[in-house]
Structure 1
Amino acid sequence: MGTVMTNAKERSNRMKSLFGNVDSAELAKQISAGPAVKVGSGAVKSMDRAFVAVEEENDRLREQLSGSEAIVEIDSAHVVPSFVRDRLDIEGDPLFQGFVEGIRESGQRLPILVRPSPDKQGYFQVAYGHRRLRACQILERPVRAIIRELTDDELVVAQGIENTERANLSFIEQALFAATLKSRGFRRETIAAALGRADGKLTYISMLIGIAEQFPAELIARIGSAPSIGRPKWEKLAAHFKDGRAPAAAQLIIDQVTSTRTWVALPSDQRFAALMNALEHKAASGDRGEEIEVGGGAVITAKSSRSSTLITIPESKMPGLSAWLIEKLPALVDEYRQQNGETPMR
């Protein structure tokens, strides 16, 4: 609420600003030519109250138009997503199409929160409301929004809290969100606030980040949000990876499973389950090893575990091969490093 006029001097100044363009000499002539009119003190007080009410309403409107709660319509094509992704697949959600139809029929009831884009003049960046924005973009209609000046920290906290209060992120979406914020230099306290966690939950934030960093980001994107899959199962899957990579044998299984049309067509939870089952089956049958026929009746066996691979060469069938491989091993390691863009050891 704006400041209320409390004395006659302030009211006088307001009156002068309203009628400052009137010729006072001409006005005096007109007044002297007519009969004197007496105005009662009650009428004066009533006019005072009217001016006070008008000024208060003007102040209220100015605050609403310039404040954080003013809702405006902006071109949805001129709104860009937050710099950190929280939801893995908005349009892949089976409920999203119904959400779009609801906005088509009933309009957008809740505004989104945006800030002026720090990178593109005339554009805005979403803090929260990505689903509502995407629906308006699909429908090619303006989006109702609240515009605020937000720092990066304020934006991610608003983004996270809105998700917590409305449609919770899945476990892996939380983990990926936390890991992405960490990679952009945000403190764990800010990440905790963005996920609706108290400062005392920093160990939980560290756990989320640790799990997300076990996986290649592209694999999480392929699996999707997996809304029914919680921490224990993701930790179990993470045991097949180390430092964001899978061993060669496990990676082969992953590539085979995730490249099929059948797997891609599955809901996210089932994609996770199918991949987990394939990797667990491989681990259970790992004792038998992989047999590689190299001719002359010789078979080389390779047994892979989560931490190492054991290659067995039959000396009776291929005498000298083991010694030759050991001699060539440094050169083979250098070749492997070069293929992976690493610096050779020698």
Structure 2
Amino acid sequence: MSKRANHLDSLLSPIKRDEPKPMPERKPSATPGSIKVMGMALESLNADAEEVENLRSQLASGDRVLELDPKAVDHSPFRDRLTDTGSDPVFEALKASIADGGQQVPILVRLHPKDEGRYQAAYGHRRLRAARELGQKVKALVRPLTDAELVVAQGKENLDRADLSFIERAQFAATLEERGFDRATIMSAVEPNKGNLSVLLSVAKAIPADVIAAIGPAPKIGRPRWLELTEALRGKGALDRVLEATASDRFQAADSHARFNRVLTAATGPQEKANSDTRIITASGRKVAKVSQTGRDLKISVDKGLDAGFATFLADRFAEQLPSLAQEYAKAREEGT
């Protein structure tokens, strides 16, 4: 073939690219087995780090239940319970339940702000006491709580369980106010109704703390009767008579409800009555009326210091409410109360 033909053939042929040279085969620096071992080790380290981080997070949020020595847990610095010198069947039942089936609900605690290695309980004080008496660990959630968060958590459980008596809530509210908490925090911890909070505070301030302590929690005594005692204590010589009554051995041996009744009787003073079926009704420390009963006869005498219009008002109101009172009485008889 001529040179011209060869040249033409080269022009018409496809352009040929150089084939890439194969890379030289590199030997691995380690065997496949050692790589697998290293990977497992790294995974294990990562898992351990994650477990530690999860533990820290759980301890910070309180999601993890720990078992603590109950002797290392102090009561809340804001006490909300009165000590009843008599037997407490509710506590004894709780203690028996924990002894038989273990503690089902953990208490809430925070690290003690001053004593390293100790805790302060926000709520669950009776469960804590039961664990102490049974000689066993107490299950607890550990959370970082400010004073305000502690009292709100403490009060929230009490409100949810309707556990504190009226006077215990009143004293708890007064304690928080004395310690400088604002009204919003006190209402969250003690009572969501603003009007009721005012009543709680007024009762706690009007009745001396030593008198309240002498009576105890009195769980069945509600707001109306504590208000009645508040009014009675304003009378002349009322407090002296109450303190004398609380010092007797007979008073100390009675249960909390009986002690309240004895204090109220002492505060009211010597009753102006012809027989045991006559009662004196007071309001704001003054006599309002005298109620006398002889068999089926009931007599209400309005005090002479009040005008006759009050007697008319009382008679009309009594006539309106008598039917419902009769129904209430009949229902109580049927229920055996």
Q: What TM-score comes out, normalization by structure 2 length?
A: 0.64
- The residue aligned with 2:134 is 139
Gaps of 5+ in 1: 1-24, 33-46, 286-304, 308-346
- The residue aligned with 1:227 is 219
CA–CA distance in 1 between the matches of 2:240 and 2:104?
48
Is 1:81 matched with 2:75? Answer: yes
CA–CA distance in 2 between the matches of 1:26 and 1:215?
91
Mark the CA change 1:143 to 1:90 in structure 2 (over 3 Å): closer, same or farther.
farther
Does the 8 A contact of 1:91 with 1:97 survive in 2? no
Does the 8 A contact of 1:88 with 1:225 survive in 2? yes
User: Which structure has the higher relative contact order (CA within 8 Å, separation 6+)?
Assistant: 2
Q: Which SS does the other structure have where 2:29 is aligned?
A: helix
CA–CA distance in 2 between the matches of 1:261 and 1:191?
37
1:209 to 201, 211, 232: 201
Q: How many pairs does the alignment contain?
A: 240
Does the 8 A contact of 1:90 with 1:96 survive in 2? no
Q: Which amino acid aligns with 2:227?
A: E
CA–CA distance in 2 between the matches of 1:90 and 1:72?
30
Does the 8 A contact of 1:90 with 1:131 survive in 2? no
1:120 to 109, 112, 115: 115
Shift of 1:169: 1.1
Mark the CA change 1:173 to 1:81 in structure 2 (over 3 Å): closer, same or farther.
same
Q: Which amino acid aligns with 2:119?
A: F
Q: Which amino acid aligns with 2:175?
A: T
Q: Which SS does the other structure have where 1:213 is aligned?
A: helix
Shift of 1:98: 2.2
Is 1:164 matched with 2:153? Answer: no
- The residue aligned with 1:19 is none
- The residue aligned with 2:242 is 254
CA offset digits 1:217-267 (Å, max 9, x no partner): 01101101111111111111111335xxx85x2233213321222221222
Q: Return the index of the structure with the highest Cα Rg.
A: 2
CA offset digits 1:169-206 (Å, max 9, x no partner): 11111111101100001111100001251xxx323212
CA offset digits 1:38-61 (Å, max 9, x no partner): xxxxxxxxx9xx99x979984756
CA–CA distance in 1 between the matches of 2:176 and 2:60?
31
Does the 8 A contact of 1:189 with 1:202 survive in 2? no
Q: Which SS does the other structure have where 1:110 is aligned?
A: coil
Q: Which SS does the other structure have where 2:121 is aligned?
A: strand
- The residue aligned with 1:44 is none
CA offset digits 1:74-114 (Å, max 9, x no partner): 11101101111111126742321222122122111111000
Is 1:72 matched with 2:60? Answer: no
Does the 8 A contact of 2:239 with 2:267 survive in 1? no
CA–CA distance in 2 between the matches of 1:133 and 1:255?
33
Mark the CA change 1:99 to 1:175 in structure 2 (over 3 Å): closer, same or farther.
same
CA–CA distance in 1 between the matches of 2:244 and 2:195?
36
Structure 1 vs Structure 2: percent identity of aligned residues?
41
Does the 8 A contact of 1:172 with 1:212 survive in 2? yes
CA–CA distance in 2 between the matches of 1:164 and 1:152?
18
Gaps of 5+ in 2: 1-25, 34-39, 274-283, 287-337
- The residue aligned with 1:343 is none
Q: Which SS does the other structure have where 2:58 is aligned?
A: helix
Mark the CA change 1:90 to 1:115 in structure 2 (over 3 Å): closer, same or farther.
farther
5 Å matches for 1:256-271? 256-271=244-259
Does the 8 A contact of 2:84 with 2:216 survive in 1? no
